[in-house]
Structure 1
């Protein structure tokens, strides 16, 4: 039951049908004076007001991104259902109030799942309830060191030289750990998640490349697993390559659900040093992987995408390969002025020096390569991604543009990562050209 899909199939269809029936019941208040002429218009007005407030709060307070009209409509619809339920319950009997509460909850569930279907944030009940991923194991059960791992051969891809000593399992494993900010002193409040491909469990495992994968804002390290279907994506790739795939580490990139340290070292915290120093240091100490940073990559969505190309430019010796899905042209809070004031104590020059576009113009980056991905219907971040792509091309960086159907949603990000895997596998030395 926990793995029943919420984005397609019978569950959302049943929710829509029950929601429609519940709406009819809430509206059908026969015999009430002024119901259609006064009460229902007031309820509609309440829904509109709530939608406007939600747009302002999300855009200007929580996250500087416009909210799609479809999402705002469902938010207002849910708020209107609550208001309508209050009006129906007024002067009702106790059992009638019980029915009203149930129908309001059904309508709100329909509205919430409609918003969820737009973004694709919670594909299953397991994801919506925040339960551990299916098949998750304790880190101590997979952290053993193999005494004789197969070393990569210079100039050759792993799939040309490595043969499993035992039949690879059908799936990799997922585990979680705490990666502290020992050097950066960045405050980390959540545990990181790790995907280890089937080849990692081989008695003579190859030294696999590493992909550091970042979430957005609001977001958490588990998002790529729950909403993005990362394990299934990597398992499919590994099944076609004798169990080979990158080791994927998903750290806490922001320190909290709504935190926005802008992937910089600033007054908001040394998040850049955490991701470029603490995380790689922990990986090398606790996982048996390829130590050559030329076979390391960083990727992310939205905030994480911006962070990925920032770190590729700022720390090319650590992350010479990046995938930026729906990122921004530069990191910022609500406005550039607020960013400079809050994070850089009013020092505009210091902020400018820290922006990716300045880094592109200040020095060449011959070792860096990446993919810039965007949703064709993403009117906020799509144009910014095209600017990032043009700037990278102008600076001589080997970069590719990936345009996908959709907007600022998981339908773009999960597909974007999957479409990028063949290029990434070649770049990280897993497959030959």
Structure 2
């Protein structure tokens, strides 16, 4: 296996890095203990203080995302800072060899802390994804004809799997491509989207596929579903068991920038709702052979993206008849309702209530909508909110399916949430009968 494909989450790389980090910290502590104990204690205390102060500023001053930083993250940040601080302590009156060793030891602690934080979230699976390099299975949008000469469509009462026949020659895996989806109606300035094309779509006679729109968390980017969720691998596994069939997956930008939070609404923060419900579907239909019936379209996401999926499923059931809410919140938020109403609606609480999904579901029924809701068993913040969402969807008459999976607010749950939902999505989207 090429080094770029080595796993950063399991196996030799994290093990070797962990050993190097422990050895580096041990050497730095040993050197600091030889006549520089007081300075070493100061360096360690400063690392803990800086980490705690930084976490407080992020959570209470900057507030780039609604949930607080986990203590484990702050602990690993302090570990890396302590390594750097101890290297500085060891620098005076040391020869160049020991100085070089101190730099390497500090680098090992910083890298070890970074990989430990990555492992907590499961964000980057390989060195390729961590470096943001081009995925190995990526093609250009110009490599795929927008419309095939021959297509296969599902019948009115027959799923696609019953009318599609696997050709003799078929790609063994799907492909990814990146493209810009302009906000023609919304004016929303989105970053490039990603699209997954299953193997069947690459055939000469292609099936007319349903569409799954997936949304990232916040902070985040569309590529997070590839790096953290391995969506192409999830869909490839499903396709291998279904003659190359899987949904065409579109991952648009629902934020505008890494740290932005437009709440997936049309407000003074941006017209994200119009972008996702009008601009994105129009672009997809213009560039791909997809099912023209929005009854077979679904929207899903995790964290912010899960909240967004709930909003779109409730606000625009004419576009998305199925929603997949993984670890979402009970309402769109910038941290608290008062601050959200002030920032997005100029203090108009009634305007927020008119677009808040739980308020809408309290007054309206959705018998034609399916809600797939996933929560992390150890997610103390978002888990209870997901139970509230589940109950609200049931009261509103939606067909609800619920999963509570092992893990917290990380890719351990988000990735697994997509895996367990795909078979149910396939039925709802007209791919399979059961």
Short-chain TM bin: over 0.9
Cα displacement (A) at 1:208: 0.5
Cα displacement (A) at 1:93: 3.1
- The whole-number CA distance in structure 2 between the counterparts of 1:106 and 1:214 is 34
**Aligned twin of 2:55:** 55
**Aligned twin of 2:143:** 141
**Aligned twin of 2:99:** 97
Cα displacement (A) at 1:363: 1.6
**SS of the counterpart of 2:374?**
strand
**Aligned twin of 2:371:** 370
| Aligned match for 2:76, one of 65, 74, 77 | 74
- The whole-number CA distance in structure 2 between the counterparts of 1:377 and 1:66 is 15
**SS of the counterpart of 1:67?**
coil
Whether the 8 Å CA contact 2:375–2:405 is kept in 1: the answer is yes
CA deviation string 1:174-230 (max 9, x = no partner)? 111000101000111x21100000110122211110000101111111111111111
**Aligned twin of 1:3:** 5
Matched pairs, number: 430
Cα displacement (A) at 1:44: 2.6
Whether the 8 Å CA contact 2:32–2:90 is kept in 1: the answer is no
Give TM-score, length-normalised by structure 2.
Answer: 0.97
**SS of the counterpart of 1:149?**
strand
| Aligned match for 1:157, one of 156, 159, 165 | 159
**SS of the counterpart of 1:195?**
strand
- Structure 2: gaps spanning 5 or more residues: none
Cα displacement (A) at 1:348: 1.0
Cα displacement (A) at 1:30: 6.6
**Aligned twin of 2:184:** 182
Give TM-score, length-normalised by structure 1.
Answer: 0.97
**Aligned twin of 1:418:** 419
1:359 paired to 2:349: no
- Structure 1: gaps spanning 5 or more residues: none
* Residues 234-313 of structure 1 aligned to structure 2 (within 5 Å): 234-313=235-314
- The whole-number CA distance in structure 2 between the counterparts of 1:362 and 1:180 is 34
Cα displacement (A) at 1:31: 7.3
Cα displacement (A) at 1:343: 0.8
1:45 paired to 2:45: yes
For the aligned residue pairs, the C-alpha RMSD in angstroms reads 1.3
**SS of the counterpart of 1:79?**
helix
* Residues 188-227 of structure 1 aligned to structure 2 (within 5 Å): 188=190, 190-227=191-228
